[in-house]
Amino acid sequence: MAHLLFLTTAGLLLSANAQPAPSVQAGITAAIKAAANATTLDYTAFVNPFIGTDNFGDVCPGASIPFGMVKFSTDLTGYAPAGYVTDPTQSIRGLSPLHDSGTGSSLGTYGNFEIMPLLCPKGFDTCTTSLAARERLRKLNTDLASPGYFSQTMNNNIRMEATATRRAGLERFTFPKGSKPYFVLDLANDLPNSFAGGSLNIDPTKGQITIGGSWGSSFGPGRFNYQAFACYDLLDGGKQTLSEYGVWTADSFGLDAKGLGQTHLNLTINLIGGVYQSGALFSYEGNPTQVNLRVGVSFVSTDQACANAESEVGSSTFEEIEAQAKALWNEKLSKIEIDVPNTPANVTELLYSSLYRASLTPNNATGETQGLFANTPSFYFDSLYCSWDTFRTFYPLMSLHSPVEFAQIVDSYIDGWRKNGWMPECRANNLPGWTQGGSSGDVIVAHFATHYHNEAAALGIDLEELFSAAWTDSEVNPPEWNIQGRQSNVYKEFGYVPFAVLDVSSTGRQTREGSRTLEYAFEDFAIRQIAQVLDKADDVALFSNRSLSYRNVWDPTVVSDGFSGNCTGFAQKRYSNGKFNFTDPKHCSPVDNVTTECSLQSDNLNGFYESSSWEYSWFAPHDTAHLITLMGGNATFVKRLNHFFSAGFYGAGNEPSFQARPFTPIGYHYANHPAQSVDRVRTVVFENFDITSAGLPGNDDQAAMASLLSFHLLGLYPVPSTTQYLILSPFTPKYTIHNSYLNTSTTITTVGFNPKSVQHTIPAGTAAYVANVTINGVPAASRCHFDFYDVFRVGGNVTIELTSDKTAADDCLGALPESLSTGGFASAR
C-alpha cells in the first residue's frame, strides 16, 4: 500500500540531513573494495539498513534476525510508522522491541514497551517520565545499524544499543561518566496510541519487570485488539544493582505523578483525553557507565516473555548475540552471491540491502499465537502487511531460494483459512487488516503450488487444502469483505464488481470497483493455476473463464491523451446495468494535483485503489496479449506505454505501477520489444532508487520494493502464480542463486557485461541487450523468458549473452511471454 496520507510533498524531506553516521557508508564502501581480495565474504558488511528510513520509505533499521518477531529500534516523534526516521528535527521517545518494516500506516505500528534512559540530577521525583517530557533529540550523525545491531546516541551523550534473537534481545546503554542511570519503561504507549488496558509489575528481588496489555491495529478495524507482553531483566545476571524503583502516571493535561517503591500498575483504557500514560521508573547504584538489559517479548503471556529471554538469550553477552544474529543474516544473504569485484559498488550495496529487507519480514511469531490461533500447530507469521503488496515480487523472490521459509508462510496463510474461514489478506499486529485488492493470498499460495507441488508434502503443505483455501476466497462471500475474502456474489453474478450495486447479503467499503475486478480476475487465474497442478479440469475451465473478467470493466470509448498516442480504451468502474461511470483516467495518478485521497477513504471515487485507471489498465498479467489487442495492437501499446512514462503517470512509489504489471516497465516484452524493457528498467532504477536513506521512491511495503529492485538488478521479472520469468539485462556480470532445499545452485553469467551500461541511459553502442540465452549448454527457446523448471529447479549454468545492437535484440524471435488467450500456460510443469 502507499501511505494513508497521500503525499505530494515527498521531496521536501529528502535527506538534506542524512543522520546515519558517515562511518556506515564508509564501512560498506571499504568492505566492497576489500571483497576483491577476500576469500570468504561477509555479506552483512554490504547491507545499509538505513536505505528507506527517509523520504517515507518507512523501513525499520532496528536490530533483528531474519523474519524476527522483534526488531529493536528507537521510536521518534512525527511521521515514523516504523519507529525510526532520519529527520533530525524529530525527537527520540525511547527504544522498543516490536516494529514492522515498510508499512504505510501513518499511525505507525507497534512501538510498545519503550524504554528511555534518563539523567535525573535532582532525583526520582523530578524524572521526565511522560512522553512529551522525556523526548530528546539525537546527537547528529551518530546513528548506527548493521544486520542484527542498532544504536543511537542522544544529545545528552547517552548511547543506546540493541541486538536481537527471534523473540528477545539485549539492550546496552552507555551513560556519561559519573552520572546515575535512570530508566523510564512505558506500559501504555505504542506508536498508534491504541492502549486498551494492561498491567505492570516490578519484582525488585528478581530485578525483573513484567508488562502486558492490549492494543489496537495499525491498519485495521479499531474494534479488534491484540495482546502483547514483555519481560525486562534489570540486573545483568547480578552484575548490576537497582537503586530506586517505582511507577508513574502522566497525561498531557498536567498529571505527572510518581510512586517511589510502588510495584504495580493495572490500568484500563482511558475513554476521554487520550492515552493515560504510565510505566515504571528505576535507577542503578554506583553510577555504572554501562547498563545491560535483557528483554523478552511474547504475544501469549509475561511468563512466556521471560522464558523467551531465558531460552534465546540466557547469559550470552551482547557480542555473542550480535555474532549469532549476524551469522543468521549471512546464511540468508549468501543465498544470492554476486561477482562483487566486477559489479558496480552501488549495485552490490543496493542488492544486499534489498535482500536483507526481503528477509526482515513477515515476523515469525510461531508459538506466539492468540485469539483463534492460540496453540495452533501451524507456523504463524505476523505482519502479512499486505498480501496485495507482496504477491507481486516478494514471494516470487523467496520462491527462488527459500522454499522452506516460503512453505511455512504458506502454511500460515492456509491456517488463516482454517481458523477464520478465509485466508488473511492484511494481517497486521496479529489482527485482520484492511483488504486492498481482493484476496491476494490466492496468488501467493498459487505461486508456491506451481513451483513446489512435487515437494509440497515434504514441506508440510497439503495441496488439496491449499486449493480449498484459495477456492473459498473466490467462491464463498464473507458477510463482510473489508478484511478477508471478496465481494464474490456480485462479481460472479455480473462478471465484474459493479459500482453502486444492491448487495443484500454482504457489506464492505463501496470503492475500488475497477481495481477490485482486475485483481479478482488475476486471483482467479492464480486459482486456475493451482487447479491445473492438481489436474482439476473443471476448475481449470471455470477459473480460466473467470480470470477473463478483467475484460468486463474495459470501456473502449474512453480516451485520454489520445492525440499523442492513440490511448483509447481504459478500465472504468461500471454500474450493474452495464453502463460505465466515467472518471478521468489520470485521476489519482502522480500528476493529479487535484485529488487528495486515493486510498480507502470516503472520497475515493475513481474506482481504483491507490492508483489511476492509467496505471491499472495495464493489469492482466496472465493475458497481456489480449490486453494489447484491446489497446489497438503492438504499436499503439508501445506508444501508450512510452506515453505512460513520459507523461508522469507511472507511480514508482506504489505497487500498481511497478509490480507485476508485467507492462510497466517490462511490458515492452509482451509487444515484442524486449530491448525497450531493458532501457526502461535502467531508467526506472536510476530515477527511483539509490543507496541513501531517501533511496526508495516510497514505502517499502514489507520489502515489496526491495524485492522488485532485486529482480531488476538480477535482470529477471516474475509472473506471479506462474513459473515464467522474463529475462532482462542484469546489472552484474555474474550471480549464483542457491536453493539449499532443492540442492541446486544456478549461476547466471552475463556475457559481454559492460559496467558502463549500468546507468540511467545506456550509452549507444554499449552491450546491454539480450542477444541469446543458453541454459546448461543448450540454446534457450526464448531470449525473452525462461521457466523455473528449466533453470532454478535443475540448477547449473545460464548464460545471457549481450549485444550492443539494440535493434537486432529488440525482438523475442517468435517466443513471446505467455498469455492465456494465445494458448499460454497450457500445462503445469
Ligand X SMILES: *[C@@H]1O[C@H](CO)[C@@H](O)[C@H](O)[C@H]1NC(C)=O
Contacts with ligand X, residue ranges (CB under 6 A): 33-34, 36-37, 67, 199, 266, 268, 344, 346, 364, 366-367, 405, 408, 545, 548, 565-566, 581-582, 591, 593, 605, 628-629, 633-634, 639, 671-672, 690-692, 742-743, 771-772, 776, 779, 796-797, 801, 803, 816
Pick 260 or 591: Cβ nearer ligand X: 591
Pick 683 or 772: Cβ nearer ligand X: 772
DSSP code for 347: H
Q: Give the closest residue to 655 by CA, choosing from 104, 48, 105, 106.
A: 104
Q: What are φ and ψ of residue 797, in 5° steps?
A: -120, 130
Give the orientation angle of helix 463-475 with respect to helix 403-420, to 10 degrees. 50
Q: Give the closest residue to 696 by CA, choosing from 102, 57, 79, 17.
A: 57
Phi-psi category of 640—alpha, beta or left, where left has phi over 0 and alpha has psi -120 to 50?
alpha
Residue corresponding to grid cell 496468488: 443
Pick 111 or 565: Cβ nearer ligand X: 565
In the structure, how many helices (H) and strands (E) does the chain have? 21, 33
Task: Count other Cβ atoms within 10 Å, centred on residue 311.
Answer: 12
Q: What is the DSSP string of 575-597?
A: BTTS-EE---TTTTSTT--S---
Pick 161 or 592: Cβ nearer ligand X: 592
Smallest gap from residue 93 Cβ to ligand X (A): 25
* Separation between Cα atoms, residue 670 and residue 657, nearest integer Å: 16
Smallest gap from residue 419 Cβ to ligand X (A): 18
Pick 582 or 645: Cβ nearer ligand X: 582
Phi-psi category of 321—alpha, beta or left, where left has phi over 0 and alpha has psi -120 to 50?
alpha
Pick 465 or 561: Cβ nearer ligand X: 561
Pick 238 or 814: Cβ nearer ligand X: 814
Smallest gap from residue 121 Cβ to ligand X (A): 34
Pick 146 or 210: Cβ nearer ligand X: 210
Q: Give the closest residue to 16 by CA, choosing from 85, 78, 92, 88.
A: 88
Strands, DSSP E only, in 622-768? 716-718, 724-727, 734-739, 744-751
Smallest gap from residue 1 Cβ to ligand X (A): 23
Smallest gap from residue 397 Cβ to ligand X (A): 14
Quick check: 804 and 765 in contact, CB under 8 A?
yes
Smallest gap from residue 349 Cβ to ligand X (A): 8
Smallest gap from residue 178 Cβ to ligand X (A): 39
Residue corresponding to grid cell 541511459: 761
340 three-class SS: helix
Could you give the angle at the alpha carbon of 649 between the alpha carbons of 668 and 348, nearest 5°?
65
Q: Take residue 689 and report the three cell numbers written for it.
A: 532508487
Residue type, 606: N
Smallest gap from residue 776 Cβ to ligand X (A): 5
562 three-class SS: helix
Pick 3 or 586: Cβ nearer ligand X: 586
Distance of CA 233 to the CA centre of its chain: 32
Smallest gap from residue 173 Cβ to ligand X (A): 28
Quick check: 158 and 173 in contact, CB under 8 A?
yes
Smallest gap from residue 207 Cβ to ligand X (A): 20
Q: Take residue 428 and report the three cell numbers written for it.
A: 497486521
Strand partners, 264: 201
DSSP code for 756: G
Smallest gap from residue 690 Cβ to ligand X (A): 4
Pick 20 or 81: Cβ nearer ligand X: 20
Pick 139 or 639: Cβ nearer ligand X: 639
* Separation between Cα atoms, residue 710 and residue 705, nearest integer Å: 8
Smallest gap from residue 755 Cβ to ligand X (A): 9
* Separation between Cα atoms, residue 126 and residue 257, nearest integer Å: 10
* Separation between Cα atoms, residue 791 and residue 321, nearest integer Å: 38
Pick 392 or 738: Cβ nearer ligand X: 738
Pick 134 or 682: Cβ nearer ligand X: 682
Smallest gap from residue 41 Cβ to ligand X (A): 13
Q: Take residue 196 and report the three cell numbers written for it.
A: 486498551
Distance of CA 755 to the CA centre of its chain: 30
Pick 118 or 620: Cβ nearer ligand X: 620
Smallest gap from residue 387 Cβ to ligand X (A): 17
Q: Take residue 631 and report the three cell numbers written for it.
A: 489497446
Burial of 237 (C-beta count, 10 Å sphere; 0-12/13-18/19+) = exposed
